[in-house]
Amino acid sequence: MPIMHLSIKKILASYRDRGVWQKTFQVLREMKSSGVNPDRHFYNVMIYTFGKYNCLDHAMATFDRMISEGIQPDTVTWNTLIDCHCKSGRHE
């Protein structure tokens, strides 16, 4: 895995752990403007972060973007989405 991707993922995790999840949008914009494409792990971290802060709409928008970019979800993605829905009271 490229060093840049590891650094970005650490930044996302840091924002998540400090409760400033809104900054993840800035990271995504800066990545795109620098020509760095997010991968599945990046999107999984974003979805997890949104779920942790009960932002189901953001989690689903991130998932939709992931799919539209041709990135296939994995078990982590699906389990994280299930958890996000449960935390939001959407058990169906």
Q: Looking at the domain assignment, is residue 27 inside a domain? A: yes
Q: Looking at the domain assignment, is residue 71 inside a domain? A: yes
Tell me if the pTM is above 0.85: no
Q: Looking at the domain assignment, is residue 42 inside a domain? A: yes
Q: What is the pLDDT of residues 27-69, one digit of tens each?
A: 777 877 888 788 898 899 889 988 988 889 999 999 999 999 9
Q: Looking at the domain assignment, is residue 36 inside a domain? A: yes
Distance separating alpha carbons of residues 11 and 62, to the nearest angstrom: 17
Q: Looking at the domain assignment, is residue 92 inside a domain? A: no
Determine the structural domain holding residue 44 and report its residue range: 3-87
**DSSP-assigned letters across all residues of 13-32:** HHHHHHT-TTHHHHHHHHHH
Q: Looking at the domain assignment, is residue 74 inside a domain? A: yes
Q: Looking at the domain assignment, is residue 37 inside a domain? A: yes
Tell me, what's the pLDDT at 15?
75
Sign for the pseudo-dihedral over CA of 18, 36, 80, 66: positive
For the chain, the domain total comes to 1
Tell me, what's the pLDDT at 6?
56
